[in-house]
């Protein structure tokens, strides 16, 4: 599906990945972008550079408000659904937030789309749907059964199931992307963000959750956006689903080392909370198989370690 000259709704467009997506879309020819965000996690300053662009419109709204959403979705060609509670640790303590901002919000969006004859949706999912210690490493898209261990992963998987049902019953077409960990400009959470904040507060000591051996693939946000757009424009099945990741993974201890180096610090004491997980619901070892996207014609250029280093540099310029 070509995106040129389309009117695109981006839910969660004032957030980390959403704001980077909006910047990318507005650089394309003829695309009009409407951001729908309640600013619970998104930030108005992330979309401030676009407010004077005639092809951009911002709506402060909640996906739980179906009446408002129904009014604003009229005339939209395709929806990029990024809105979610991205603070996974908060969601573990407040599962009702994940339910409302995940599954129910997605159900509302899909039904409003159906009522207004909007049939194209791009959904940002997560590697967390694969659960803990899958038997196939690196894990491909057709792995199963899927039993997430976090409420975030559970609600992403529930949203995937709803999207699949709408494709089958109402003629929707969907693209689902199961992300690796994403790093880069406008990040508001995650290990890189946390380490920088902690070291700014106390440059002599860094508290690391777990044992520091947790390792996951990290994809830079610009490559994340490029891969997602490539998949939308090249994959034409009714229900398209892909891992979006790079090869390899980066351990938390390595991330700490990179952050310390980029901040120019020395003699930083590392203190560990212990255990293989950073928090309940954390999947300590993640390896994603990116070959399905490669067969389509796209692969990440940066390694996981390179993405981390670039993401650290960008955040240090912002924080």
In whole angstroms, give the CA distance from residue 230 to residue 236: 11
Active site residue 152: yes
- In Å, what is the CA distance from 64 to each residue of 18, 24, 100, 105, 110? 19, 27, 8, 6, 12
Give the single-character DSSP code of 285.
B
In whole angstroms, give the CA distance from residue 33 to residue 13: 9
Q: Which of 36, 152, 166, 241 is catalytic?
A: 152
Largest CA distance in the chain: 60
Q: CB neighbours (10 Å) of residue 18? A: 29
Cis peptide before 145 (omega within 30 of 0): yes
DSSP codes, 103-121: IIHHHHHHHHHHHTT--EE
Contact 35, 14 (CB under 8 A): yes
Residues annotated as part of the active site: 152
């Amino acid at each position: 599906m070509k995106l040129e000259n389309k009117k695109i709704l981006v839910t969660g467009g004032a957030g980390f990945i959403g704001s980077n997506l909006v910047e990318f879309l507005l650089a394309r020819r003829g695309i009009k972008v409407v951001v729908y965000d309640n600013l619970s996690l998104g930030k108005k300053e992330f979309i401030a550079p676009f407010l004077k662009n005639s092809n951009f419109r911002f709506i402060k709204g909640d996906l739980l408000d179906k009446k408002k959403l129904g009014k604003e979705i009229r005339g939209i060609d395709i929806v990029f659904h990024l809105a979610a509670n991205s603070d996974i640790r908060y969601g573990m303590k407040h599962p009702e937030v994940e339910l409302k901002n995940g599954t129910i919000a997605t159900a509302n969006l899909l039904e409003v789309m159906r009522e207004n004859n909007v049939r194209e949706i791009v959904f940002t999912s997560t590697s967390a749907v694969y659960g803990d210690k899958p038997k196939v490493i690196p894990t491909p898209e057709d792995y199963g059964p899927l039993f997430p261990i976090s409420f975030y992963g559970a609600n992403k998987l529930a949203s995937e199931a709803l999207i699949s049902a709408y494709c089958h019953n109402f003629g929707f077409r969907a693209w689902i992307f199961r992300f690796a960990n994403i790093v880069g400009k406008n990040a508001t959470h995650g290990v890189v963000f946390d380490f920088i904040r902690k070291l700014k507060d106390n440059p002599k000591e860094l508290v690391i959750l777990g044992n520091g051996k947790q390792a996951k693939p990290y994809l830079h946000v610009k490559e994340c956006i490029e891969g997602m757009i490539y998949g939308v424009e090249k994959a034409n099945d009714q229900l398209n689903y892909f891992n979006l990741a790079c090869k390899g993974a980066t351990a938390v201890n390595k991330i700490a080392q990179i952050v310390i180096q980029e901040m120019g610090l020395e003699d930083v004491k590392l203190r560990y909370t212990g255990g293989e997980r950073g928090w309940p619901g954390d999947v300590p070892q993640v390896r994603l198989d990116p070959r399905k996207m490669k067969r389509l014609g796209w692969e990440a250029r940066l390694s996981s370690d390179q993405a981390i280093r670039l993401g650290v540099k960008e955040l240090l310029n912002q924080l």
